[in-house]
Structure 1
Amino acid sequence: MTDLYRRRMDRAAADAADAGLTGLLVTPGPDLTYFTGYRPTAVTERITLLVLAAGHGPRLIVPVLERPDAVEAAGAGAVTITGWADGDDPYAAAAALLDPRGRYAISDNAWALQLLGLQEALPGSRYTSMTATLPMLRAVKDADEVERLASAGAAADAAFEQILGVRFAGRTEHQIGTDLAALLLAHGHSQVDFTVVGSGPNGANPHHEMGERVITDGDMVVLDFGGLQDGYGSDTTRTVHVGEPTAEERRVHDVVREAQQAAFEAVRPGVACEEIDRIARDVITRAGYGEHFIHRTGHGIGLTTHEPPYLIAGEKQPLVPGMCFSIEPGVYLPGRFGVRIEDIVTVTADGGRRLNNTSRELHIVA
């Protein structure tokens, strides 16, 4: 793994230089894990900072009490690791690794306290968001990452197949969500990040999650759930119906399914992210529900559930083999019901591959 991390760090430093940056400042979170494999056991106000800059080897500054863990995870051969002790000025120690007048991209989840400390220590330095400057830094996955995402997707699929056998009517959204969470863990997830269970009118809120509403016969139910398995995310949505649906409910579900399929079929290298959004949106608009599709068509996924690329109008970034993202159009009728269908998709050399493979038909549950 050391060679893999070193290649990632070297590529990032080169990309930063090409973008006119002095380098990258990586703080604890998904970026640090991606580049070094190091996950600090406690993310606190004590600064931990990886510095990547062309012409310099990777340098990591950590609290001295955490240095043994950092050496074990990141490897002293791949990264030069420096410790600072309580009582030292951590920003002076970090500043020694930086260009006093440099322009750096910094991890989006860096603590404001630490960024302000760096600015005070180096008043001539400048900083920008890593996502704003280098949005594709983690967007293109290697073969191992894709297969980890595929494994997480398969586990989510297995959880969905099992939840179809559970009784919905007479139980609360929270109970169904608890069942889903348990199934994700049973099929190999290390953590569950979210369980959206939106029944009846609650389904018209895309981020309803789960509440105490009792599900009844005649409800449409949106199920959106995911978490982490082997470090990589799952995220899938299917919409089910308790008992026989009305003609309108079937029609709305068919429209969303058609939009999701059309967007998937458009996936191929070179197509702009916004084009996938436009294709899904056009299907829904032609059917008369355009104003009820109220979110982007998709988001990237990897070490985190939401990351670049984003499938949204204005995003000109072309698709590249190895990109992984959701395709999740939806229609939300306020006060009545909602429908969403979501798969994780990866870009291949000549098209796309779904990482979720359960049926996208409208399932009838009891």
Structure 2
Amino acid sequence: MTATKLFSGFSRQEYERRIAQVRTTMAERGGDLLLVDQIDNMAYLFGYAHSGARYQAALLPLVGSPVLIVRRSDLLAARDKSWVSEFVAYEEYDDEVEYVARAISGFAPKELLVEGDSNFLTVQRMEKLRAQLSDLKISDFSGVMWEQRLIKSPEEIGCLARASAIADAAIMSGINAVGVGKSERDPACATYATAIELGADNGRVAVFGYGSTVANMHGRLGDRTMEAGELYFIEAVPQVFGYSARIARPIALAHASEKFQHIAERLVAIQDRQIAAMVPGAVSGVVDRICREAVLKEGLKSHFPQVTGYTLGFHAVPRTSDHTRIFMPNETWKIEAGMVFHIIVYAEGIPFSETVHVTESGPRRLTQTNRELFVR
């Protein structure tokens, strides 16, 4: 039996399924050509994710073969990663938007659809395209692929499950590197080493906090020496073929005070109830309030502006998180089987978070590390 050829970790059949879904919506919108330039969506549809250093794009016709417009220095990588067979390559000194405009004209479309919410289709680039395609109708296709990506396929779940296993191993390596008298950078080194060794393919595999930075879930490493009684946290965010799992755990240095132990135990209990409520059909705002209202009622936080969860999946620059769906008290969207979320709560520098996959029978944690305040 011949093995299925993979493109950036996925089968050709997986890409064909994704393309067919997008084309269905294109037809419904009346567009016969789609310009894709958000890196996340280029990877999702075509298997090619670039660095973002220069503008690159893809053109997907309603019927026929797509074309990737890439800079020539990335052409080999694009051919290697993507299932697409047709490419337009520009040189470093070329105007890439002009190349995109000429490629669009080559399709002679009646209506061009664009990602109006793309981070890469800037106002300047859009104006240049309009000037060069003055007779072409251009319509917005914002949100379509983000919505489509909410429901993960079995192949995508496989990537997220592998990333979750890496996250579990990496965070335990980091936890075991925490200790009085050590540098706050030692756990970072251990976390990164394990994640990369086990197959993480992203450069930023974790976030750390120690000392004053534990109050900020997006803190940065310093050069302090760890002292008894203080807190440290690790949030591991490894990716496999761009798909990110996430998990956060707190660590107390040498001993944990009764206060810290109490906060940790209550956060875990409250979040466990929230996760248990994540069943298909559940309303997001209701699920959010299970956590939010209990945390505030028990005085674990005096102010709670943060989300308690958000979409997980493929991540690329410049978006480090996907907030297509978020858990806030005023949200009314419903949870569906196949969705995957990062569920997170923290107070007083003590965070707990999980990667949660919603199945037909309910939620399952893809991350499995013990839910406790570790002491090292």
Q: Same fold (TM over 0.5)?
A: yes
CA distance in 1, matches of 2:374, 2:337: 32
**Alignment of 1:237 onto 2:248:** yes
> Which residue of 1 is the match for residue 57 of structure 2?
48
> Which residue of 2 is the match for residue 253 of structure 1?
264
Amino acid at match of 1:29: I
- Which of the numbers 7, 26, 29 marks the counterpart of 2:36? 26
Amino acid at match of 1:306: S
**Alignment of 1:8 onto 2:13:** no
CA contact (8 A) 2:35 2:112 kept: no
Matches within 5 A, 1:66-81: 70=78, 73-75=81-83, 81=86
CA distance in 1, matches of 2:151, 2:20: 15
Q: Once the 2 structures are TM-superposed, how far is the Cα of residue 141 of structure 1 from its aligned partner?
A: 0.8
Listed one character per residue, the Cα deviations across residues 341-360 of structure 1 (whole Å, up to 9, x for unaligned) are 01000110021110111111
Q: Once the 2 structures are TM-superposed, how far is the Cα of residue 45 of structure 1 from its aligned partner?
A: 3.7
- Which of the numbers 136, 147, 172 marks the counterpart of 2:147? 136
Q: Once the 2 structures are TM-superposed, how far is the Cα of residue 21 of structure 1 from its aligned partner?
A: 6.5
> Which residue of 1 is the match for residue 7 of structure 2?
none
Listed one character per residue, the Cα deviations across residues 95-148 of structure 1 (whole Å, up to 9, x for unaligned) are 3247465553356232425333223223464454733x5531211111111121
Amino acid at match of 2:238: G
**Alignment of 1:331 onto 2:367:** no
CA contact (8 A) 1:119 1:125 kept: no
> Which residue of 2 is the match for residue 310 of structure 1?
326
Deviates more, 1:120-129 or 1:26-35: 120-129
CA distance in 2, matches of 1:317, 1:249: 34
> Which residue of 2 is the match for residue 158 of structure 1?
169
- TM, length-normalised to structure 1: 0.85
CA contact (8 A) 1:51 1:59 kept: yes
CA contact (8 A) 1:24 1:106 kept: no
CA distance in 1, matches of 2:127, 2:257: 57
Coordinate RMSD, CA, aligned: 2.9
CA contact (8 A) 1:237 1:342 kept: yes
Q: Once the 2 structures are TM-superposed, how far is the Cα of residue 152 of structure 1 from its aligned partner?
A: 1.0
CA contact (8 A) 1:297 1:328 kept: yes
CA contact (8 A) 2:292 2:304 kept: yes
Amino acid at match of 1:95: I
Q: How has the CA–CA distance of structure 1 residues 291 and 152 changed in structure 2, closer, same or farther, with 3 Å as cutoff?
A: same
**Alignment of 1:295 onto 2:310:** no
Amino acid at match of 1:347: V
CA contact (8 A) 2:213 2:220 kept: no
Listed one character per residue, the Cα deviations across residues 54-81 of structure 1 (whole Å, up to 9, x for unaligned) are xx335224258466765554445xx7x3
Q: Once the 2 structures are TM-superposed, how far is the Cα of residue 46 of structure 1 from its aligned partner?
A: 5.2
**Alignment of 1:348 onto 2:359:** yes
Count of residues in correspondence between the two structures? 353
Amino acid at match of 1:130: S
CA distance in 1, matches of 2:286, 2:220: 29
CA distance in 2, matches of 1:52, 1:106: 18
CA contact (8 A) 1:196 1:225 kept: yes
CA distance in 2, matches of 1:290, 1:129: 40
CA distance in 2, matches of 1:273, 1:135: 18
CA contact (8 A) 1:268 1:347 kept: yes
CA contact (8 A) 1:28 1:49 kept: no
Helix, strand or coil at the partner of 1:3: helix
Helix, strand or coil at the partner of 1:190: coil
> Which residue of 1 is the match for residue 369 of structure 2?
358
Amino acid at match of 2:146: P
Q: How has the CA–CA distance of structure 1 residues 99 and 275 changed in structure 2, closer, same or farther, with 3 Å as cutoff?
A: farther
- TM, length-normalised to structure 2: 0.83
Q: Once the 2 structures are TM-superposed, how far is the Cα of residue 44 of structure 1 from its aligned partner?
A: 4.8
Q: How has the CA–CA distance of structure 1 residues 139 and 128 changed in structure 2, closer, same or farther, with 3 Å as cutoff?
A: same
> Which residue of 2 is the match for residue 335 of structure 1?
none
**Alignment of 1:90 onto 2:102:** no
CA distance in 1, matches of 2:260, 2:233: 13
**Alignment of 1:214 onto 2:229:** no
Amino acid at match of 2:332: K
Identity %: 22
CA contact (8 A) 2:205 2:239 kept: no
| Consecutive unaligned residues in structure 2, runs of 5 or more | 1-10
CA contact (8 A) 1:148 1:230 kept: yes
Helix, strand or coil at the partner of 1:164: helix
Q: Once the 2 structures are TM-superposed, how far is the Cα of residue 267 of structure 1 from its aligned partner?
A: 0.8
Q: How has the CA–CA distance of structure 1 residues 48 and 135 changed in structure 2, closer, same or farther, with 3 Å as cutoff?
A: closer
CA distance in 1, matches of 2:352, 2:283: 21
